[in-house]
């Protein structure tokens, strides 16, 4: 266990800027090579490969990167691309096959609406929130995952904020209560006392009783899948900005402290903290990137000065590690992504030691925050 160190911003800042510029080059090249295509994970560094998707949940990340670049660079060209790619996703507001409508709309239509106040965009966000809420299983008090009605995923903590958003914008108390119920069920069933998380919880459908913790992408039902833990620390932190409920902040802090405690000194985690030393203990840079961005949020949300410093230091240490030749593909000719060494689904051998779109997006988001770029999709107060 290593305590995160403070990072020399004079050294890091130029590498953050270089990473942002490199991300702009890579995203632009992808739009030129494969117009209107939304990547998910790479194979040997190439985005378009026809491999299994498992689930189609990532389109918002490619378009979302364009919104970040439009804001970071103040560029009309990026803004037009961001609007075009986002408009291709409008129909997903009615998509009942995925639990990922927060990922898709909060990184695209939320900044678009916040920058324009166009009522049509507002309605799309609200519809997406209401569509996601249709996944609620009343007996178990949770939003079901894409795999089965009895399944709850930790990832959904990143998506439930769009229900809170829709509830707030329409003053819908029942919708708000549904979202709160999902968070409390998640906390009770798949967040552990030590701050670790399981990927999935399984319920008995006839009674709604919780049965067991399990996993798809982690090592095992009782392990710490590092990306799930990153989703939880970021997600509960965002939820707190809607609820003001100290329980949400407390869960996010418990997750954050557990994540930091289990990280190596460079703060970039293996894909599961419980993978034994050996060839399978590969980094998941995407978990590091998500955690970096979520920790920067928590550094502002926490009421503790000590924790704030700890989270800020951990986030900047992650960025300090990631903004190097090992992780950023700026020294790997022909690699189409930005961030190398992500892992999508180890067991299915999908996107293992590759670029993954959520790693790309949250890395760019964390880099932009590190550079002080104000982002129009940041939750209030962040």
- Work out how close the CB of 159 gets to ligand GLY at its nearest, in angstroms, rounded to a whole number: 10
Cβ neighbours of 374 (radius 10 Å): 10
Q: How far apart are CA 352 and CA 284, in angstroms?
A: 9
Considering the complex, state which of residue 22 and residue 344 has its C-beta at the smaller distance from ligand GLY. 344
Per-residue mark of binding to ligand GLY, 92-131 (x: CB under 6 A)? ----------------------------------------
Site for ligand GLY in 334-363 (CB under 6 A): 344
Q: Least distance to ligand GLY from the beta carbon of 366, Å?
A: 16
Q: Which is nearer to ligand GLY, 259 or 344 (CB)?
A: 344
Q: Does 217 bind ligand GLY (CB under 6 A)?
A: yes
The two structure tokens encoding residue 230: 């990153």
Q: Measure the CA angle with vertex 322, ends 317 and 328; round to 5°.
A: 165
Shortest reach from residue 104's CB to ligand GLY, in Å: 13
- For the bound state, the minimum distance from the C-beta of residue 85 to ligand GLY, rounded and expressed in Å, comes to 21
CA dihedral defined by 242, 247, 250, 256, rounded to 10 degrees? Answer: -60
Residue 155 interacting with ligand GLY (CB under 6 A): yes
Measure the CA–CA gap between 276 and 99, rounded to whole angstroms: 31
For residues 357 and 58, the answer to whether their CB atoms sit within 8 Å is: yes
Give Cβ neighbours of residue 197 (< 8 Å, ≥ 6 apart): 154, 190, 191, 224, 225, 228, 229, 232, 255
CB of 152 to ligand GLY, least distance (A): 12
Residues touching ligand GLY, count (CB under 6 A): 4
Q: Pattern 223-252, binding to ligand GLY, x per CB under 6 A?
A: ----x-------------------------
Q: Is residue 308 helix, strand or coil?
A: helix
Name the site residues for ligand GLY (rule: CB under 6 A): 155, 217, 227, 344
């Amino acid at each position: 266990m290593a305590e995160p160190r403070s990072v020399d911003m004079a050294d890091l800042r130029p590498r953050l800027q270089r990473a942002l510029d490199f991300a702009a080059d890579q995203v632009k090249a992808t739009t030129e090579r494969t117009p209107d295509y939304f990547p998910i994970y790479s194979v040997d560094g190439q985005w378009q490969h026809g491999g299994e998707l498992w689930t189609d949940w990532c389109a918002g990340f490619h378009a979302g990167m364009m919104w970040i670049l439009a804001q970071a660079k103040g560029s009309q060209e990026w803004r037009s691309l961001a609007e075009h790619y986002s408009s291709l996703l409008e129909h997903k507001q009615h998509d009942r096959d995925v639990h990922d409508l927060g990922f898709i709309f909060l990184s695209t239509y939320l900044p678009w609406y916040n920058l324009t106040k166009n009522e049509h965009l507002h309605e799309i966000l609200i519809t997406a929130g209401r569509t996601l809420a249709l996944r609620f299983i009343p007996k178990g008090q949770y939003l079901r995952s894409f795999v089965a009605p009895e399944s709850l995923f930790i990832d959904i903590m990143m998506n439930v904020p769009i229900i809170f958003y829709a509830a707030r914008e329409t003053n819908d108390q029942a919708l708000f209560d549904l979202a709160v119920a999902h968070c409390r069920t998640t906390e009770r069933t798949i967040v552990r006392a030590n701050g670790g998380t399981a990927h999935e919880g399984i319920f008995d459908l006839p009674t709604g009783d919780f049965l067991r913790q399990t996993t798809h992408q982690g090592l095992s039902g009782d392990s710490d899948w590092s990306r799930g833990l990153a989703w939880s620390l970021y997600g509960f932190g965002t939820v707190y900005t809607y609820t003001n409920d100290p329980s949400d902040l407390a869960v996010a802090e418990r997750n954050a402290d557990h994540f930091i405690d289990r990280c190596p000194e460079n703060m970039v985690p293996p894909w599961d903290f419980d993978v034994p030393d050996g060839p399978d203990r590969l980094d998941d840079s995407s978990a590091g990137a998500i955690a970096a961005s979520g920790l920067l949020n928590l550094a502002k949300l926490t009421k503790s000065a000590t924790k704030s410093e700890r989270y800020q230091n951990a986030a900047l240490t992650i960025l300090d590690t990631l903004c190097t030749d090992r992780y950023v593909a700026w020294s790997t000719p022909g690699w189409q992504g930005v961030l190398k060494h992500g892992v999508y689904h180890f067991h299915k051998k999908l996107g293992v030691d590759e670029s993954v779109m959520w790693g790309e997006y949250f890395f760019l988001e964390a880099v932009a925050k590190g550079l002080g770029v104000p982002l129009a999709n940041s939750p209030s107060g962040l």
